[in-house]
Each structure stands twice: as C-alpha cells, then as structure tokens.
Amino acid sequence: MELALVWFILLAVLWTGYLVLEGFDFGVGMLMPIVGRNNTERRVALNTIGPVWDGNEVWLLTAGGATFAAFPEWYATMFSGFYLPLLLILVALIVRAVAIEYRGKINSDAWRRRWDRVIITSAWFPSILWGVAFANLVRGVNLDENHQYSGNFFDLLNPFALLGGVVTLLLFLSHGSIFLALKTDGIVRERAEKLAKQFGLFAIVAAGAWAVWGQLAYSRNAWTWGAVGVAAVSLVAAWYLVGAKKFGLAFAFNAVAIAAAVVFIFGALYPNVMPAINDPANSLTIYNASSTDYTLKVMTIVAAIFTPIVLAYQAWSYWVFRKRLHVDHIPEHNELTFSKA
C-alpha cells in the first residue's frame, strides 16, 4: 500500500479518536446547566471529564500535526479557506481550558457562575463548527488552478454544511449524556439518562438525513453506503441500550457510530482530500497534496514507536478514574476564599 494512502487512513483514525473522546467532553460541557442545578451538581458533571479532557485534546494536536507533515498542501488550503471557523474553534478550546482550570480557584458563587458560562459556550462552538467544516470537505469547495480556496466565508454556510453542524451537535450531546449516565450516580445520573434518550433519537434522525444526502449527492464511492449502514445501526442500538440502562454498551455503540461517520467522510472524499466543486481538475488529492516518500517513511517509523505508548497511557488514565461520581464525593469547598479588607 502506498504511504500517502496509509497516512490518509491514519488521519481518519486520529480524527476518530479525537471526535469520540472530545465529543463527550463537549457534550458534558453543554449539558452542565441542565444536569447540574447547583454548584455541587455541576461540579460532579465537570469532574467526570476533569482527569481526561486535556489528554483527549492530544488527538487533535496529533491530527493537525500529521496533516501538516503528511499533506502540507491540504493543510495550507484548508486552514486558509476555513480560517474563521477554525480560528473560532481554537479560541473556544483555549478559553475552555482556562475556564476549567480557573473555575475552582476561588470560593465564590459569582466566580464559578462566570466560568461555567465560559465552559458551556466554549463547548457549543466547536460542537457545531466541526460538523460545518467536515460537511464542507465532503461537499467540496471552490478551488483555483493553484489549489487555493477561492470562495468566501458565507459559501461555507450552505444547507448541507449547516445540517452537518446540527449532526455533530446532537451526536456530542447524546455522547456526553450517555457518558454522564455511565460516570455519575444520583440525581445527575437520572437527568443524564432522560437526556440521553431524547438526544439519541434526535441524533438518529438528523445523522440519517445528512448521511443519505451526502451519499447520494457528494460521495465518490458506493462502498461508503456500508459506513452509513453501520452508523445507523449503531445509533439505534445505542438508543435502545440507553432505555435498557446498559450505558457502557450504549457508549461503545455511540463511539462506533462516530467512527463510522469518519469512515464515511474520508471514504466519500477518496481519492481527494479536498474536492473542487467548480472544476474537478483543481481538486487536491492524496497524491498531489502529500509530502515526499522519505517524509512519510520517517513519520511512519515515529508513529509505530510512540502511538502504542500514548494509547497505553491514556487507557491507564481512564482505568484509574473509572469510578462513578456522586454529589457526596464533592467537598464543600477547597478553593481560596477572599474577603473585603
């Protein structure tokens, strides 16, 4: 198999890891004000992702770095063409990290409410914008003869891309609510169970409509119907298992659905990495956008050495923090207390 194709597949794996893991992070962030009616309940929700959220973002850094190294022209065209939405995502990720770290620094309800609003808002933006970006990749964009993006920001806000944003939003809300039902106990878990059932049903409808639209209108390969089928069966299975209160299996099936969605996106693109809708001859492919064979060989050796280490460390961290959380586990406060002089 050619190394360019190998790295195209590996990028799909990296994006799968990121969307599965960061997807429930975003879901928990968006659901904080719904599952948590007071500070202690919101703290329970936030603590479910506390030990893992920054490790989950490593997948994004790796996917971005691998795209830059393996397909530099794809990276340059995508980041210049999708500049504003990707900048908004980056800002949201930065302020979210600050908010999670600073929320518990001072014992003040006003302080915590302020950072809670930042955490919630910064989870909504990426959840929608990732879907918009990936949907535009599947649909294709305007590229000139030098493979540079020749459209504008509003071209990215087409109906197919906006529906893609709704799909990722609902998938992450469903994923996050299942994760909360799996990781918490008591009143937070009861609320998360109800939300998982509702968002799961909405996700089935929206994702089904988007996938069929994408397959019929934009996919370049018939075999991606298989990925659509796997995603549909997995979402229905996850929704059923939530009703049966088997949250571990429901989470696994939801993860399979997200993985199948990534397979559909990359499969629909192949052999392109960025199709040109104005002139197919201007499309970026895995061949004209890839680095040299030497660069790809070095990347493959490095990935073969370090990827198992990263996976083992991340699996270990999830195992260590595997227990359910309850409001009784949250101390009254251990933050700094300031008073007026």
Q: What is the CA radius of gyration of the chain?
A: 21
| Helix runs in 57-108, H state only | 58-70, 72-81, 83-102
- pLDDT value of position 305: 92
**Position 302: which residue type?**
V
Strand (E) or helix (H) holding 115: helix 109-139
Indicate yes or no: pTM above 0.85: yes
User: What's the token pair of residue 67?
Assistant: 């795209």
- The phi, psi pair for 271, rounded to 5°, reads -90, 10
Within the chain, strands assigned E span: 272-274, 284-285
Higher pLDDT, 339 or 53: 53
Q: What percent of the chain has pLDDT over 70?
A: 97
pLDDT in tens, 14-45: 999 999 999 999 999 999 999 998 999 999 99
Instruction: Please tell me the distance from the alpha carbon of residue 298 to that of residue 67, in angstroms, as a whole number.
Output: 14
Neighbours of 245 (CB within 10 A): 9
Residue 103 CB partners (closer than 8 Å, separation 6+): 46, 111, 112, 115, 116, 119
- Between CA 77 and CA 184 the distance in angstroms is 43
**DSSP state, 286?**
T
167: number of Cβ within 10 Å? 25
Over residues 208-228, the pLDDT tens digits come to 999 999 999 999 899 999 999
CA–CA separation, 171 vs 313, rounded Å? 26
Q: What is the pLDDT of residue 128?
A: 96
User: What is the average pLDDT value for the chain, to the nearest integer?
Assistant: 92
**pLDDT for the residue numbered 135:** 96
* Residues 6 or more apart whose Cβ sits within 8 Å of residue 62: 14
